[in-house]
Amino acid sequence: MFLTAEEVADLTGYTKPGAQIKWLQAEKYGFAIDGYGKPKVLRQVVIGRLGGIQSKKGPELRLA
C-alpha cells in the first residue's frame, strides 16, 4: 500500500523526513504525514507516475 521508509529515501534521495517532504512537494507527489512526521507515499501513485504496471499479488479467480 505505502512505500517503505527505504523506498521513500530511494525515491527522494534524502533520508531526513523534512528533506523528503520538500522534495515530494517540489515534484508534486501526493503524500500524507504520519504521526512521527514522516511522509507516507502510496505505492500506486509512484507506479502510475513512472509509467509502470503494478503486478497483482493476490490469487485470481478462474472460471472453467
Whole-model pTM: value is: 0.78
What is the per-residue pLDDT across 21-52, written as a single tens digit (0 to 9) for each?
A: 999 999 999 999 999 999 999 999 999 998 87
Angstrom distance (rounded) from CA 14 to CA 64: 50
Q: 38, 21 in Cβ contact below 8 A? A: no
What would the grid cell of residue 55 be?
503486478
What's the grid cell of residue 27?
A: 515534484
| Structural domain spans, the chain | 5-49
C-alpha to C-alpha distance for 32 and 50, rounded to whole angstroms: 19
Euclidean distance between CA atoms 58 and 56, whole angstroms: 6
